Amino acid sequence: MSLLKVFPRTRRDARRRRATATVELAICFPLMFLLTIGTMDVCSMLFLKETITMAAYEGARRGMGRDRTNTDAANRVMEFLDERNVAYDEANVVTFSSPDFDSANTLDNVTVTVTVPCSGNLIIPSAMFDDLTMTAAVTMRKEYKNLTP
């Protein structure tokens, strides 16, 4: 015996199935949309974190050589951030540990810390992240003490 004869399909059954599919779509679509947007935000934040970590590394590499100063390191950080279109506050983007590149002796550890705001740097602008800042720090040793003129 065929299943079609046991379970005959009627128009009423077809309408019920369409109504069920519509309700499922009405419930699932907003959830899937929010999940997609949330994933894009998280990925954007991870990319921003990686970018500022690389900027701190570039700044530390620039400052660790002989006769390199905090200004050299800060300029390299800002140059790197500009290349990647990252918005930042020039006055507060880079900080240095003590000793910094200007005063460090040979083989002293110097930490470069880069801080940028999340607002203006994420793919999807959101009021939820307006006050959030991201920070990354890199520590390297000063290769040679700066020569005093």
Low-confidence ranges of the chain (pLDDT < 50): none
Distance (Å, whole) CA 54 – CA 12: 62
Please check whether residue 10 lies inside any domain of the structure. no
Q: What is the pLDDT of residue 21?
A: 81
Torsion-angle region of residue 5: left (phi > 0), alpha (psi -120 to 50) or beta? alpha
Please check whether residue 15 lies inside any domain of the structure. no
Q: What is the pLDDT of residue 70?
A: 94
Please check whether residue 29 lies inside any domain of the structure. no
Please check whether residue 117 lies inside any domain of the structure. yes
Give the relative orientation of helices 11-63 and 70-83 as an angle to the nearest 10 degrees: 150
C-alpha angle 124-125-127 in degrees, rounded to nearest 5: 135
Please check whether residue 5 lies inside any domain of the structure. no
Q: What is the pLDDT of residue 66?
A: 86
Please check whether residue 40 lies inside any domain of the structure. no
How many domains does one find in the chain? 1
- The range of the structural domain enclosing residue 72 comes to 47-141
Please check whether residue 14 lies inside any domain of the structure. no
Please check whether residue 57 lies inside any domain of the structure. yes
